[in-house]
Amino acid sequence: MPPIEIGTVAFPQPGRGAAAAAEAEADGYDVVRFPDTQNLGGDPFVQLALAARSTSTILLGTSATNPITRHAAVTANAILSIQVESGGRAILGLGRGDSSMGHIGRKPAPMATYRRYVEQVRTYLAGGEVDQRGFPSRNRWHDQFDLPAVPLDMVCSGPRSIALAATLAGRVSLTVGADPERIHWGLETAHAAAEAAGRDPSTIKFGVSVNTTVDSDKQAGLEAIRGTIAAFAHFSAMDDAPLEHQPERQQRVSRQLREAYDTRSHGQPDAGHAQILDEDFLDWFGVAGTANEVIARLEPLVDLGLDHLYLIGSTRPPAREAYATEVLPALRRRAG
């Protein structure tokens, strides 16, 4: 494996997923993930299956599925199918659910529900039995194939979700913005939780998702990713999320997003809730500017010793070429 895996996110648009994954592989990414929000895009597992046939090396994952819209047995069955079709390149990204829940009038899964779900998915993936209302439920076909285990990649932003991920998952992916100090806090929180659970942190892969774009006009770039920054910042502002651990500038935004976030405008830069984010917060949480400016912001993250770095927004035209030819090579040089 490379010193650091660099990944991106592709929108699960029917008719486009396979090509998007092939482009990501050609551009030099190590991982491509498809979001699971049923009212905003196509089915990610369908797109992953198609992507398995259009690619040969890139890792393929969800970003992220959730405990409410997919039963644990169904999720395990789907990702095991991708593991077979891709020859062992699948990753299962998991989260509590945000936009996927909001678009069916539901709240994110409670932490206890989320924990049970992840434990059940792990058991199914390992070929074990799960007690489902008294029935000994297990996947009865996956042991026909000699393939590596599917890694669980848990997306997390607050101390409770970070601790849970460090307790249960093989990959921990922080969504705490792009500030090195904030990421360092997340890593420390995860390491402490892993050790408390009797796990060696060195056996876990740690990474970060960063909202980013290349633009010759930095302010225009930040405006272009304002909507996705608001969406990711909202993960730390959910109704039951503790805020006291956040720095003051984030607490202020989190309180406002908690009251104003409108799922119907999820990811839209002109949404009312997205206008809450001032220029200081946008530049603190996200990364935009010329290729050199983006590289200068991302290199300190590589220096933290991350195992993976997911760049959210890096495949959008016209920024795509700059990431493929300038940003990714620079980050690999820094890591290697």
Instruction: Give the rounded percent of residues in the chain with a pLDDT score beyond 90.
Output: 80
286-310 burial, b if ≥16 CB within 10 A, otherwise e? bbbbbbebbbebbeebbeeebbbbb
Return the pLDDT at 103.
67
- Strand 130-132 relative to strand 135-137: parallel, antiparallel, unpaired? antiparallel
Question: Hunting for tokens 């996947």 — which residue is that?
Answer: 139
Residue 1 has pLDDT above 80, yes or no: no
- The domain containing residue 108 runs over which residues? 5-229+287-335
254 located within any domain: no
In a domain, 184, yes or no: yes
Lowest mean pLDDT among 16-20, 116-120, 202-206, 262-266: 262-266
pLDDT tens sequence across 62-110: 998 989 899 999 999 999 999 999 999 999 999 887 777 666 777 778 8
**CATH number, domain with residue 316:** 3.20.20.30
pLDDT band for position 267 (cuts 50, 70, 90): confident
The pLDDT value recorded for residue 265 is 82
Residue 275 above 70 pLDDT?
yes
Within a domain: 264: no
pLDDT at 137 over 90: yes
- Predicted confidence band at 125 (pLDDT cuts at 50, 70, 90)? very high
Mean pLDDT of 49-59: 98
- Dihedral over Cα of 214, 9, 306, 5: its sign: negative
Least confident of 92-101, 159-168, 308-317: 92-101
The CA distance from 241 to 201, in Å, is 25
pLDDT at 170 over 90: yes
Tallying the residues shown for the chain, one arrives at 336
Q: Is residue 260 part of a domain?
A: no
Q: Is 23 domain-assigned?
A: yes
| Per-residue pLDDT, 271 | 86
pLDDT at position 41 is: 79
| Rounded Cα gap, residues 313 and 317, in angstroms | 9
Average pLDDT over residues 303-319: 95
Looking at residues 222-240, what average pLDDT do you find? 90
Say if CB 230 and CB 271 are below 8 A apart: yes
Whether a cis peptide bond, with omega within 30° of 0, leads into 318 is yes
Is the residue at 126 inside a domain?
Answer: yes
Is residue 154 a contact partner of residue 118, using CB atoms and an 8 Å limit?
Answer: yes
pTM of the model: 0.95
Number of domains composing the chain = 1
Within 8 A by CB and 6+ apart from 18, the residues are 47, 50, 51, 53, 54
Helix (H, G, I), strand (E, B) or coil at 281: helix
Give the residue among 175, 291, 308, 183 at the shortest CA–CA distance from 237. Answer: 175
Is residue 305 classed as helix, strand or coil in its secondary structure?
A: coil
Specify if 271 maps to a domain. Answer: no
Q: What percent of the chain has pLDDT over 70?
A: 99
Please give the mean pLDDT across all residues of the chain: 94
279 part of a folded domain: no
